[in-house]
Amino acid sequence: MLFIALFPATLGKISPYYNTVLILVGIYVILAVSLDLLIGFAGQISVGHAAFFALGAYTSGILTAKHGIAPPIALLCGLFVSGLVAWGIGRAVLRLKGYYLAMATLGLNAVIVKLITGFASLTGGASGLLNIPPFRIFGLTLQDHTYYYYFVWGIVILVMTCCLALAKSPFGSTLIAIHSDEEAASTLGIDCPKYKLHVFVISSMLAGVAGSLFAHFMGFIAPDDFDIFTSILILVMLFLGGVGTIYGAALGAAFLKLLPEVTYRFQTYELFFHGLILILVLIFMPKGLLGILTNVKNWLLGSKYLSNPSSLGTDP
Amino acid sequence: MHDEANRYNRVHEKHLLQVDHVSKSFSGLTALLDVSFGIERGHIKALIGPNGAGKTTLLNVISGILSPDSGHVYYREKDLTRLKPHEIAAQGLSRTFQLVRLFTANNAKVLDNLMIGAHLKLKPSFVKSFFLRGAVHHQDNVVRETAYQMLRLVGLERVVVDYSPSSLPFGNQRLLEIARALMSEPEMLLLDEPASGLNDAEVEGFKQLLLTIKKKGITILLVEHNMKLVMDVADEIVVLNFGRKLAEGNCKEISSNQQVIEAYLGSDYINLAGGNLSG
Amino acid sequence: MIDLSVLLQFLFSGITLGSVYALIAISLVIVYNVSRVLCFAQGEFFVFGALTMITLTALGIPMWVGFILTIIIVSGLGMVIERLLIRPVQNSSVGMVITMTIAISLCLRGLGLLIWGREAHTLPAFTKSKALAIFGAYLSVQVLWITAAAAIVLLVIWLFFEKTLLGLSMRACAENRLGASLVGISVWKATLFAWAWGAALGALAGIVIAPLIFVRYISGTMPMLKGFTAMAIGGLTTVGSVTAGLLLGIMEAYTVGLISSEFADAIVFSVLILVLLGRSYGILGKTEDGGM
């Protein structure tokens, strides 16, 4: 956790361009981390996370741009809308397992994006929603990217702390039980559908928060920002960084968002490399980047930190 | 007279668990047919029968994983038949499985399995884990202590709790599963062939464990193939064959029951008091 | 209010779309039934089939040759993918397998971008003849090719799976993998060829519709999702997939024509979700467990 605290502080001093990038990194960290709770801990494969990203963004965007509502309230509304949709559809959808759940969530994402595009009078349709004001809180307009950067990363740290706390708590253990073996878990008294719904709602609400932050940052949002390719991107970030560890998700998000900065010349190769890296990770390093870093750390620190003789890879 | 007999079958005060005319079939294949019996509080009842007799199916019906086509399951005179597994567990029934099902996702360790076993005691929730951290922490410590006690009870005190359950030898995995099932302080334990795959020494130790659990006042329904173990610990035995109840009674009655002997081995006579009848 | 020719036109579009969805659905069904893996990259086989055919034709190779070559190339691709990438994760958890197929799909899409760029490409029609006019609606001859292709494919599939040894062994695997291997059937061979079939059918779907649409490197995703919808409705069988695919295509065509294309897609995917949910409640037939 210290690591996290130091990180943004040092980077705050860097030039405004990097602030922009890092704000996006922060937003995607929230997305990846919230998805980790759902996939990494509870084992529910969702390929439609961007749907809730969209709900949060559009709710915030519409309320602030068209109705002049204060951004913090709009953010809460976005959170609420995402949570509500997740609650409404979650019970039924989470009855599905494996491929069917993945497909259903993909379908959900597609439906929501198509609906957003379709109701153009409300959402600006395919051409997008314009004129979203920057975030205004306590009278302060966070126009300057530096201020917004601190704000966003403040929220990121808050979100990560929450997720880590949840993961280590009995609630998190319950999710792990559900992930391992739902039937066995139920014989221990665990109401699986209830817990799956809860984590789904929490995860979706966090995605909604990310959406609001995104909307105010960009000033302009379009349905294309939230399609299934975005969901897949978040999924890749999660697995790349190391699924089921929260830190891994953050790492993956940061890595994939910062990578284009280094390789911008090879932009056309980006998509291919995303797929290739993921394939390599899945086959050779299922624990992801975090796993690699942990192994390096163990190697450097010697046998005192020998990993558990039977440590299993984090099975998604 | 007929009515009285029915009422006797249905609700007998001393019976903690009452299986009442339970039938279950799968796509035309009859797994259970009109099975009825009861278990007295504090007793160990063994459920035996040749392979395929429907024993595991019956356990699945009792624990709520399956719904019977007809019939009822009563626990403390409450009808459990249509309840979900977690609701049945909340009533005080805990179980183990024929093929050990320990939690291993996300690097879950031995201790994690035990802590999860205490779910009914901890009642975790998002709200609690988030807002009432202090209380949760305290509860956690209490449960952790209980977990260590439980390991001592089943004889696993020398196991390093930070290891993965799959690193344990098979016999110990079974013991861990039992320990996990006991964490919720159940009133009744359903065990599905817990001694299979154990060697003679382990079975002896296991026998002692069962008696210790019984001394704590926990009622046990034991599905087993190891006849020596059954004869040594069971207060009563019920025999299933092809989904039907073949016989019910104490050890002496069952071991001399001609039908039971035939069911296991055709018409060859064997001494049921010794030896293993599996396979 | 709306005259017959317009409605008929929608019908023709619907049959066109439907045949493509049916083909994709069948390819998914074959791969899933035999290898228990749902290939998210199916859309990419579709795209690769179309684009390879387009490239070969542009190079001056006669269409018949190009067709055969494309099928061979893409099936080969499918087999390579199965051997190298699916085999290692075959027995991992479903999450791993899903993610792997998503990764493969990303890779192939990226590859498609590198090879063919961002532009849209199209293929000249198989036969240069004027569209047929039926009751005022225009039926492009290509549509006849598409339906003919679908029908031939069904026949070939039936022959293959009923009559050939490989086909029968694949069906055995679909029913009971362990049992099949115990009686000496080569499961790995069956799986390999299942993927070959899957890729080939996907490519075929892409080839036959290429003259009617513009194909880009990302054109595969929607057809794949809709093919999956057809599969879900049809219940993991060949016959079911064909019927469902056609119905789905027709429904989509009418919705596009009468309402709007966005809502048409929204409706199609809502149908997908509803069908999946319906199955989980046991409404539309046997409950499937989604491969776990």
Query: Of B96, B79, B97, whose CA–CA distance to B88 is shortest?
Result: B79
Beta strands B29-40; B44-48: pairing state: unpaired
The answer to whether the Cβ–Cβ distance between A274 and C106 falls below 8 Å is yes
Chain C residue numbers touching A273 (CB-CB < 8 A): 110
Return all residues near B158 (Cβ < 8 A) that are at least 6 apart. Answer: none
Give the C-alpha separation, A71 to A55, whole Å: 15
Q: How large is the average pLDDT for residues C15-34?
A: 90
Looking up tokens 């979203």 gives A132
Return all residues near A314 (Cβ < 8 A) that are at least 6 apart. Answer: A40, A242, A243, A244, A245, A248, A286, A287, A291, B105, B106, B107
Task: Report the residue of A158, A164, A173, A204 to disrupt the B interface, i.e. the one with the largest count of B CBs within 10 Å.
Answer: A173
Give the C-alpha separation, B102 to B100, whole Å: 6
Q: If you measure CA to CA, which chain C residue comes closest to A279?
A: C103
Q: If you measure CA to CA, which chain B residue comes closest to A312?
A: B107
∠ Cα C199 C203 C207 (to 5°)? 175
pLDDT at B70: 92
Q: Check pLDDT > 60 for residue C221.
A: yes
Among the partner residues B103, B115, B119, nearest to A180 by beta-carbon distance: B103
∠ Cα C123 C126 C128 (to 5°)? 105
Q: Check pLDDT > 70 for residue C2.
A: no
Q: Interface partners of B (3+ CB pairs, < 8 Å)?
A: A
pLDDT at C136: 67
B15: phi then psi, degrees, rounded to nearest 5: -85, 120
- C42 against C284, higher pLDDT: C42
Whole-number average pLDDT of chain C: 84
Give the C-alpha separation, B181 to B210, whole Å: 13
**Neighbour-count burial of C33, counting CB atoms closer than 10 A to its CB (0-12 exposed, 13-18 middle, 19+ buried):** middle
Return all residues near B137 (Cβ < 8 A) that are at least 6 apart. Answer: none
pLDDT at C130: 67
Q: Check pLDDT > 90 for residue C120.
A: no
pLDDT at B131: 74
Containing B74, the helix (H) or strand (E) segment is strand B70-75
Query: Of A6, A22, A78, A54, whose CA–CA distance to A231 is shortest?
Result: A54
How would residue C290 be classed by pLDDT, with cut points 50, 70 and 90? very low
∠ Cα C41 C43 C46 (to 5°)? 120
In three-state secondary structure terms, A112 is helix
Among the partner residues A111, A228, A316, nearest to C99 by beta-carbon distance: A316
pLDDT at C291: 37
Stretches where chain A sits below pLDDT 70 are 1-17, 138-145, 263-265, 303-316
- A290 against C177, higher pLDDT: A290
Count of CB pairs separated by less than 8 Å, A with B: 129
The answer to whether the Cβ–Cβ distance between A184 and B103 falls below 8 Å is yes
Q: Interface partners of A (3+ CB pairs, < 8 Å)?
A: B, C
Chain A residue numbers touching B86 (CB-CB < 8 A): 186-192
The answer to whether the Cβ–Cβ distance between B86 and A189 falls below 8 Å is yes
Q: Check pLDDT > 80 for residue C102.
A: yes
Chain A residue numbers touching B95 (CB-CB < 8 A): 187
Residue A95 contacts B, CB cutoff 8 Å: no
The answer to whether the Cβ–Cβ distance between B89 and A186 falls below 8 Å is yes
Identity (one letter) of the amino acid at C161?
F
Beta strands B78-79; C132-134: pairing state: unpaired
Count of CB pairs separated by less than 8 Å, A with C: 150
pTM of the model: 0.88
Looking up tokens 């792997």 gives C100
CA atoms within 13 A on the CB side of A128: 12
Instruction: Tell me the CATH class for A14-305.
Output: mainly alpha
For the stretch C132-157, pLDDT in tens is 777 667 777 788 888 888 888 888 88
Rounded to the nearest angstrom, the gap between the alpha carbon of residue B33 and the centroid of all alpha carbons in its chain is: 21
Domains of chain B (ranges plus CATH)? 1-25+32-52+63-92+187-279 (3.40.50.300), 103-185 (no CATH)
For residue A224, what is the DSSP state? G
The answer to whether the Cβ–Cβ distance between A186 and B167 falls below 8 Å is no
pLDDT at C171: 81
- B274 against C39, higher pLDDT: C39
Chain A residue numbers touching B124 (CB-CB < 8 A): 169-171, 173-174
Give the C-alpha separation, C49 to C73, whole Å: 9
In three-state secondary structure terms, A46 is coil
Q: If you measure CA to CA, which chain A residue comes closest to C86?
A: A283
Chain A residue numbers touching B184 (CB-CB < 8 A): 188-189
Distance from CA of A47 to the nearest CA of B (A): 20
By the 8 A CB rule, do A220 and A68 touch? no
pLDDT at C289: 45
Stretches where chain B sits below pLDDT 50 are 1, 8, 267-270, 272-279
Rounded to the nearest angstrom, the gap between the alpha carbon of residue B131 and the centroid of all alpha carbons in its chain is: 37
pLDDT at B59: 94
The answer to whether the Cβ–Cβ distance between A187 and B65 falls below 8 Å is yes
Whole-number average pLDDT of chain A: 84
Distance from CA of A219 to the nearest CA of B (A): 33
Among the partner residues A165, A183, A315, nearest to B105 by beta-carbon distance: A315
